[in-house]
C-alpha cells in the first residue's frame, strides 16, 4: 500500500467509524462530567476508571498516570501500548512544571537510507509495516521513571488492577469491531502466525489478554529492567529478529527515558506549557499561538472566515519551520528561542493579507542563523491534591507496525516512519522532513504529540491533548482557543468542528458537513483549497478544564469511545 493510501485510510479509521460524518458533533452547548476532586479522561472507560480508583485510594496523578497508561495498553491496543512510546507534561500543585520524553529511538543498526532502495526511492511499507518499522520502545521506562520520581503508592497497587483487567478481558465496542475488521488484512500480512486479532470479534465480545497479563506480572516482580534486560527483553528481541528486524538486546538495555524542560509561553493572560523536542508539538503550538495573538479572534467569531484564515496562515508558516528545523535535541541544534520569539513571528506573518491566501510554495522555512547558545492516544488527569498531567502515547499507525508478539501480548510500533526517510518525501501523515529529522542510530524521531497544560492567573486552568498525527497540534490549538476566545466549556470545546492546515499539501482539511457553506465559499474565493473528503474527524481530544468554582469539567471526545471518570 502506498503511503498516501495509508494516510487516507488511517485518518478514516483512527477512530474506526464507517459513517464518520455521523460521529462529528455539531457545535452545541454540552457539558461534560463535572467532579469536585479528581478526574481521568482517556480513550477507554476501563482505563479512566482504573486511574480514578487509584486516586480515590489516595494515589496522586502520577500514580494514576502509570495505571492509566498501562490500562490503555490492555483496553485500547489500537494505540495504548507497551511496544511504543510517548510524552507527558505535568504541573504539580505547587506550580512546578516538567515533562518526560519516553519516545522510541532508532536502533543502533539503523542507517540514514535504510528505507531507500538502490535507486534512492522509498521502499513501500518498509517504514510502516513489520519489524523494520519498529523503534526501541520507551513506555515502560517512562512510567517507571515517573513512578520513581513523582509517584506515591507502591507499584504493586498500580499494576494489580491492570493485570486483573488483562485476565478478565475487555468488552469490544462497535468502533473497535470495525477497526479490527478493517486492519485484519494487514495483521495477516505483517505476522507469520495467526494472532488474537485475526478472529472475527464482534461488539460486546470480551477479549482476554493472558499473555499480556503474564508480561505485566513479570514487570511487577522484576521492575522496569524486566522489559529492557530481563526475560521479556530476550523474548522481544528474538521475536523482532525472527521477523527480520534489527533491534538488539543492546538497544533495549541502553534505552532511557529523558526528563526535559517544557516549552512555555504566554497567550493573552494564559500560560501554555507543552512538550519540547523531540516533539514538535510545543514549538509549533507556541509559533502558531504567538502569530495569531495580535488578531481579534473572539470578534471574528468561532470558525468564521477571518478566524480560519488567520489560524491557517499561522499554521502554514509554523509547519514549514517544523519540517526544516526540528528534530531530536540530542542530535540537532535548533534555534528554538528565535523560532518562538515575537520578533521572528511578527515578521513571519507580515505578508499575510485577509484579501488572498498565501501560497505554501511561497512560504518556506524562515531564515534563521543558528547562533543561539544554547494511531496515538491521549489522557488527561487531575488529582485531589491539585497535580495535573497531560500524556500522549502511541504506536504511531493504527496497531503500529501490525506486528503482534503473541508470547508477550502486545503490538510493536511503526514509529520509524516519523523520521524523514528521504528529504522532501511525505511520511504517513503527509509530513515532509529535512536533515534535522533524518535517521541515525539512537536518535528519536520527530513527533507532533502535544500534551499541554494551561495556567490562568498562575493556577491550573486546563490539561489537554489528542492523537491524530500531524493534526494533533492544530486540534490542541483549537480546543484551547474554543475555551479562551470563544468561551466554550470543555466538552463543547472538544465537540466543536475542527479544521487543519500543515503547509504541505496546501489545503485546509475540514471535518465534513459541519462547516458553514458561506464560510467555505468565502475561503475558496480568497484562494484557499478546501479538502472536505480526507478527514472525517480531526483529532480525538481528551481534556479537563478548571471551572470558576474550582470543580473540574471533563471533555471526552465523542469521536471515539473516550470517557471521563472522577469523583
**Number of residues in contact with ligand DON, rule: CB under 6 A?**
14
Residue 307 vs 466, nearer CB to ligand DON: 466
Among 23, 312, 376, 452, the active-site one is 376
Stretch in the footprint of ligand DON (CB under 6 A) among 204-212, 320-328, 468-476, 479-487: 468-476
Residue 101 vs 418, nearer CB to ligand DON: 418
Nearest to 270 by CA among 532, 114, 432, 463: 463
Write out the H or E segment, with its range, that includes residue 161.
helix 155-168
Query: Any idea what the Cα angle at residue 366 is, between residues 100 and 430, rounded to 5°?
Result: 65
Alpha-carbon torsion, ordered 500, 505, 506, 509, to 10 deg: -30
Q: Min. distance of Cβ 214 from ligand DON in angstroms?
A: 28
Q: Which residue is nearest to ligand DON (CB)?
A: 376
Which residue from 69, 251, 315, 418 is in contact with ligand DON, where contact means CB under 6 A?
418
Residue 476 vs 488, nearer CB to ligand DON: 476
Phi/psi of residue 555, nearest 5 degrees: -120, 105
Is the separation of the CB atoms in 272 and 89 below 8 Å? no
Q: Min. distance of Cβ 80 from ligand DON in angstroms?
A: 11
Q: Min. distance of Cβ 138 from ligand DON in angstroms?
A: 12
Which residue from 51, 80, 276, 469 is in contact with ligand DON, where contact means CB under 6 A?
469
Residue 302 vs 443, nearer CB to ligand DON: 443
Q: Min. distance of Cβ 232 from ligand DON in angstroms?
A: 23
Phi/psi of residue 97, nearest 5 degrees: -120, 160
C-alpha cell at 507: 489545503
Residue 319 vs 486, nearer CB to ligand DON: 319
Q: How far is CA 424 from CA 320, 435, 439, in A?
A: 12, 10, 14
Q: Min. distance of Cβ 538 from ligand DON in angstroms?
A: 10
Q: Min. distance of Cβ 9 from ligand DON in angstroms?
A: 12
Nearest to 556 by CA among 171, 5, 34: 34
Determine, following the binding rule CB under 6 A, whether residue 561 of this chain makes contact with ligand DON. Answer: no
Which residue from 212, 318, 405, 472 is in contact with ligand DON, where contact means CB under 6 A?
472
Strand pairing class (404-405; 410-411): antiparallel
Residues 6+ apart with CB under 8 A from 492: 27, 28, 29, 30, 31, 482, 555
Which residue from 467, 497, 554, 555 is in contact with ligand DON, where contact means CB under 6 A?
467
Residues 6+ apart with CB under 8 A from 105: 135, 136, 138, 251, 255, 442, 443, 444
* 376 is a catalytic site residue: yes
381: which strand partners?
A: 40, 389
CA distance 364 to 317: 8
Determine, following the binding rule CB under 6 A, whether residue 127 of this chain makes contact with ligand DON. Answer: no
CA end-to-end span of the chain: 46
CA distance 374 to 258: 18
Scanning residues 368 to 387, which ones bind ligand DON (CB under 6 A)? 375-376
Residue 178 vs 205, nearer CB to ligand DON: 178
Stretch in the footprint of ligand DON (CB under 6 A) among 129-137, 237-245, 466-474, 545-553: 466-474
One DSSP character per residue, 216-253 reads HHHHHHH-THHHHTSHHHHHHHHHHHHTT----HHHHH
Residue 151 vs 282, nearer CB to ligand DON: 282
Determine, following the binding rule CB under 6 A, whether residue 14 of this chain makes contact with ligand DON. Answer: yes
Q: Sign (positive/negative) of CA torsion 12, 14, 18, 19?
A: negative
Residue 101 vs 375, nearer CB to ligand DON: 375
Scanning residues 384 to 413, which ones bind ligand DON (CB under 6 A)? 394, 396
- x-marked contacts with ligand DON along 425-464 as a string, rule CB under 6 A: ----------------------xxx---------------
C-alpha cell at 478: 483549537
CA distance 164 to 150: 24
Residues with a catalytic annotation lie at 376
- The contact set with ligand DON (CB under 6 A) reads 14, 375-376, 394, 396, 415, 418, 447-449, 467-469, 472
Amino acid at each position: 500500500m502506498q503511503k498516501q493510501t495509508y494516510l487516507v485510510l488511517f485518518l478514516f479509521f483512527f477512530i474506526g467509524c464507517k459513517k464518520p460524518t455521523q460521529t462529528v458533533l455539531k457545535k452545541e452547548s454540552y457539558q461534560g462530567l463535572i467532579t469536585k476532586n479528581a478526574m481521568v479522561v482517556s480513550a477507554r472507560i476501563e482505563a479512566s476508571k482504573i486511574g480514578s480508583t487509584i486516586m480515590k485510594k489516595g494515589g496522586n496523578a502520577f500514580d494514576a498516570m502509570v495505571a492509566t497508561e498501562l490500562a490503555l495498553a490492555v483496553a485500547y491496543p489500537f494505540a495504548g501500548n507497551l511496544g511504543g512510546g510517548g510524552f507527558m507534561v505535568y504541573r504539580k500543585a505547587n506550580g512546578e512544571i516538567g515533562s518526560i520524553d519516553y519516545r522510541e529511538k532508532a536502533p543502533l543498526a539503523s542507517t540514514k537510507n535504510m528505507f531507500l532502495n538502490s535507486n534512492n526511492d522509498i521502499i513501500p511499507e518498509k517504514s510502516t509495516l513489520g519489524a523494520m518499522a519498529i523503534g526501541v520502545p520507551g513506555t515502560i521506562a517512562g512510567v517507571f521513571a515517573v513512578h520513581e520520581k513523582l509517584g506515591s503508592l507502591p507499584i504493586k497497587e498500580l499494576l494489580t488492577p491492570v493485570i486483573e483487567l488483562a485476565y478478565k478481558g475487555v468488552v469490544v465496542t462497535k468502533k473497535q469491531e470495525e477497526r479490527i475488521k478493517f486492519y485484519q488484512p494487514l495483521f495477516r500480512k505483517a505476522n507469520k502466525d495467526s494472532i488474537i486479532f485475526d478472529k472475527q470479534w464482534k461488539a460486546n465480545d470480551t477479549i482476554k489478554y493472558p499473555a499480556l497479563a503474564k508480561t505485566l506480572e513479570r514487570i511487577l516482580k522484576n521492575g522496569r529492567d524486566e522489559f529492557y534486560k530481563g526475560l521479556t527483553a530476550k523474548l522481544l528481541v528474538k521475536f523482532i529478529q525472527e521477523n527480520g528486524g534489527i533491534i538488539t538486546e543492546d538497544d533495549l538495555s541502553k534505552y532511557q527515558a529523558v526528563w526535559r524542560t517544557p516549552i512555555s509561553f504566554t497567550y493573552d493572560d494564559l500560560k501554555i506549557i507543552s512538550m519540547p523536542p523531540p516533539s514538535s508539538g510545543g514549538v509549533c503550538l507556541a509559533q502558531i499561538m504567538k502569530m495569531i495573538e495580535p488578531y481579534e479572534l473572539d470578534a471574528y467569531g468561532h470558525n468564521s472566515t477571518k478566524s480560519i484564515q488567520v489560524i491557517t496562515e499561522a499554521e502554514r508558516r509554523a509547519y514549514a519551520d517544523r519540517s526544516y528545523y526540528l528534530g531530536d535535541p540530542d542530535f540537532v541544534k535548533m534555534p528554538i528561542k528565535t523560532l518562538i520569539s515575537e520578533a521572528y513571528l511578527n515578521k513571519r506573518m507580515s505578508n499575510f493579507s485577509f484579501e488572498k491566501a498565501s501560497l505554501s510554495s511561497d512560504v518556506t522555512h524562515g531564515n534563521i542563523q543558528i547562533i543561539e547558545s544554547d494511531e496515538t492516544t491521549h489522557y488527561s488527569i487531575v488529582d485531589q491534591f491539585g497535580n495535573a498531567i497531560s500524556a500522549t502515547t502511541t504506536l504511531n499507525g493504527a496497531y503500529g507496525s501490525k506486528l503482534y508478539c503473541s508470547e508477550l501480548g502486545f503490538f510493536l510500533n511503526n514509529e520509524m516512519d516519523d523520521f524523514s526517510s528521504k528529504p522532501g518525501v511525505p511520511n504517513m501523515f503527509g509530513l515532509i522532513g529535512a536533515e534535522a529529522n533524518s535517521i541515525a542510530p539512537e536518535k528519536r524521531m520527530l513527533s507532533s504529540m502535544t500534551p499541554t497544560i494551561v495556567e490562568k492567573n498562575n493556577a491550573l486552568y486546563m490539561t489537554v491533548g489528542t492523537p491524530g498525527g500531524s493534526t494533533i497540534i492544530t486540534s490542541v490549538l483549537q480546543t484551547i482557543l474554543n475555551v479562551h476566545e470563544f468561551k466554550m466549556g470543555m466538552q463543547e470545546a472538544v465537540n466543536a468542528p475542527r479544521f487543519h492546515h500543515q503547509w504541505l499539501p496546501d489545503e485546509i482539511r475540514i471535518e465534513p458537513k459541519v462547516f458553514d457553506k458561506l464560510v467555505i465559499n468565502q475561503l475558496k474565493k480568497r484562494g484557499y483549497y478546501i479538502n472536505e473528503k480526507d478527514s472525517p474527524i480531526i483529532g480525538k481530544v481528551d481534556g479537563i478544564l478548571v471551572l470558576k468554582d474550582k470543580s473540574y469539567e471533563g471533555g471526552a471526545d465523542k469521536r471515539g469511545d473516550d470517557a471521563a471518570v472522577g469523583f
